[in-house]
Chain A
Amino acid sequence: MSQKQPSPSRAEAPLPGGALDTPAWAFPLLLLLAGAAFWLVVSSGFSLIASIKFHSANFLADCAELTYGRVRAVGTNAFLYGFCVPAGTAFGLWQFARLGRSRLPLPGLIAVGTGFWHVGVATGLLGILRGDLSGFENLEMPGYAVPLLFLGIVVLGLWGCLALHERQQTVLEASHWYSLAALFWFPWIFSTASLLLFTFPLRGIAQSVIAWWYSGNLLIVWMGLVGLGALLALLPLATGSRQRHLALFIFWTLLLFGSWVGIPSAAPLPAWMPVTSRVFTVLLLVPACAVAVLLVGSNSKERDLEVPPFLRFAGGFFVLYGLIVSIGAFLHLDTVTQFTWFKPALEMLGGYGFFGFAIFGAIYSVLPKLLTLEWPYQKLIRAHFYLALAGLLFATVPWFAGGVVQGLDWRNPNVSVVEVSARALKFLRPATLGEFLIALGNVLFLVNVGAALFCYIRRAVMGFIARTIAPAGVGVKL
């Protein structure tokens, strides 16, 4: 096919290789990613609104749809379900598809899954704005959006299995286990949580146990698997059996320990649940150290120009997150930091610093190969990186510090509630700036992905026109 590449499109996009050399599954995968980029911008917009509300209680206060609780829920859910899950799944699918023959069956499945998923996200977010949020943190999606999301992820997962089945290389690399496990993990935890929370809701506080279990599994295990999978696949790591064994070690420790994390120590539950969760949180130190060893062992001199700095930082943030969480749990520091701004800081460090950076890095380096085109705005990638890094620092550092101050204040009954929130407010000002920078960076990401989508479509349309019209006219064939 590439031999028959028509010249008009070459003129449009000067590319090495053939412009039509992209497999049929590339376009639906690009749609999945473009949707993710769109929801990312939506998410940061709503998070920014939520953040601004702290500085002016009257900001957009007279509109029920834009009340703080709903705006914040849209922010986190658009990030988790709009961006993280589809982008992470897309990366996994790309990994499996790449192993296979150039033609994989049923690329339409990706389009169907993408459709269900993104329509589900839109339904869910609109539902949250209407006030139908479920009340379970990190799973605020209303019950009626869940079947769409579930159907979407199952269809996408099925195509992933299909692609894996059709692969030509029998031995899977470490990054493939990670992506494969993640592909199974999400539907399992998602279906368990939605069945026990929405379809057959449990009685009493057992609901919260399920919600905490689900959050822990999503934020630690699923994000860990996908993000580390991206690092293993794309970082110029020291190759060979050492890396493979470390990867295996991380894989098992993350799966076995991470899946028990997430029940807060103050939870109104019999002691064995928070105690178990604390023990496994401390044990997260092991995979965190192992990832540190893996990163130190990576060959930094052999700098691959195609690897954006995003990936390196992502690994560092994972280690940092693991250290803070596990050492904090061991020293019982959570008795101070619980219920404070420390929590959103940690979630942002893990969700945006580790997972987001890993996925940005993966998308920036994978998409050009997949679509055989260069990023339309190379400079924006760098700008996105610096904005994201600065935003992350501006947001998390004050939150961490403010969290500690607030936690100590909460422990002192002589500091009134009003004083506690007034003191915390000082730390929220730079954090809002951080969220603004992050939002700006995310817009640049969307611009790049959108432009890539546009280039791809234009090229395809030109190619189609060339192929259908050109033979009728002058022979343009090469």
Chain B
Amino acid sequence: MNYGPLIFLAALFALSGSWLGFVVTPSFQLGTLQQTNTVGAGLTYPLARPGLAQQGLQVYRANGCVYCHSQMVTQERTLCEVVLTEAGTNTTALVAALHKLNPNYNQEALDAVLKSLPKTVVFNTTKTKADAAVKELTQTTAKAQVVITPAGPDIARGWGKRRSVAEDYLYDYPTLPGAQRVGPDLANAGARLPDVNWHLRHLYAPAAEVKGSTMPPYRFLFELRKAGLTPSTQALQLSPGIAPSGWEVVPRPEAVALATYLASLRADAPLYSTPLSSAPTASASADTNAPAGGANLSTNAPAAK
């Protein structure tokens, strides 16, 4: 019996299973992915990175940044909160409804709630329970809404608002989700640290910007120039003692591209596959105060005319 062809077929059979599953299907399902719209605002997402940031991705790849920094945020749960935005007219019914939702509320706490709207009245619950609570509150003519918050250790660290999804990587080649975290996740590095100059200073001397950082310095992305009488415009504004005295540090084009790329990293748009809604926070109430200033402007303008 000749086993050669048999083993060939066996291996072919086994391989073609996983090949269909993990090569062909993803190429169609993910390889044909298009831009999508964000939930709520309906903005186009994602937008292609600007050219310099695209070049920065190549610097990131070429220096193997991916071995220490992942770019994928994990999410373990989705938490819901109910925020009471308006008290409505029927306060007694509202107080009763609130007390039913949270028996720990005493009269004092309820008064405090009603004075400082919008206020979260139900914490850490499921969507079903939150929807039911909103229904009950709105029946009392009050207004309430559900706030959907993705949760997990990465999100708790502030590495992102939601988990990473396929759309976040649409325009990347290569895609660099990473596998190990020696340093922080960078999926939202630009959202946390939008300052390109900070990134440049950090690349030149990481420990000077982040105390105790073990990241190696990337001095080869910069050049030293003899300092003139006035510092040149491109030179980094470093704290004294970091650059050799009498010299100034000027980033090479790679460094600028890399820093631009890092500052462009942002993956927190609300999408259908990662539901999230922002809370109507105190800033929303600040907004309602703002028109006072705005009204001034608008009344001033015609007067000037």
Contact = CB atoms under 8 A, between A and B. Distances in A.
Chain A in direct contact with chain B (Cβ < 8 angstroms): yes
Interface stretch (A8-16, A31-39, A409-417): A409-417
A58 B61 contact: no
Q: Looking at chain B, what size class is its interface with the partner chain?
A: 35 or more
B266 to A, nearest CB: 15
B27 interface: yes
B26 interface: yes
A57 B177 contact: no
A214 B89 CA distance: 63
A410 B181 contact: yes
Interface in B172-192: 172-184
A255 B18 CA distance: 10
A339 to B, nearest CB: 4
A196 interface: yes
Contacts of A165: 4
A204 B170 contact: yes
Interface in A391-416: 410-413
Contact of A203 (B33, B74, B153, B207): B33
A256 B14 contact: yes
A205 B169 contact: yes
A432 interface: no
Contacts of A251: 10
A259 B18 contact: yes
Given A340-B181, A413-B153, A268 B63 contact: no
Given A267-B177, A268-B163, A413 B156 contact: yes
Contact of B168 (A62, A63, A268): A268
Tell me the interface secondary structure of chain B in the complex. loop
Interface residues of A, number: 85
Contacts of A203: 30-33, 170
A69 B164 contact: no
A343 B176 contact: no
Contacts, number: 229
B75 to A, nearest CB: 9
Contacts of A134: 61, 174
Interface string A169-188: 01110001100110011001
Interface stretch (A360-368, A418-426, A455-463): A418-426
Given A69-B67, A260-B18, A344-B180, A171 B3 contact: yes
Nearest to A180: B7
B23 A255 contact: no
A260 B10 contact: no
B272 interface: no
A251 B157 CA distance: 44
A164 interface: yes
Contact of B26 (A62, A209, A343, A421): A209
Given A134-B174, A268-B72, A202 B64 contact: no
Contacts of A335: 74, 76
B66 A209 contact: no
B180 A418 contact: no
B15 A259 contact: yes
A198 B158 CA distance: 35
Given A70-B62, A418-B211, 13 more contacts: A53-B216, A57-B215, A70-B63, A204-B171, A206-B29, A206-B30, A208-B169, A255-B14, A268-B169, A268-B177, A413-B153, A421-B214, A422-B214
Interface of B: 1-4, 7-8, 10-12, 14-15, 17-19, 21-23, 26-27, 29-33, 61-68, 70, 72, 74, 76, 153, 156-158, 163-184, 206-207, 210-221, 273
Interface of A: 53-54, 57-58, 61-64, 67-70, 72-73, 131-137, 161, 164-165, 170-172, 176-177, 180-181, 184-185, 188-189, 192, 196-197, 201-210, 212-213, 217, 251-252, 255-256, 259-260, 263-264, 266-270, 273, 276-277, 335, 338-341, 343-344, 410-413, 417-419, 421-422, 424-425
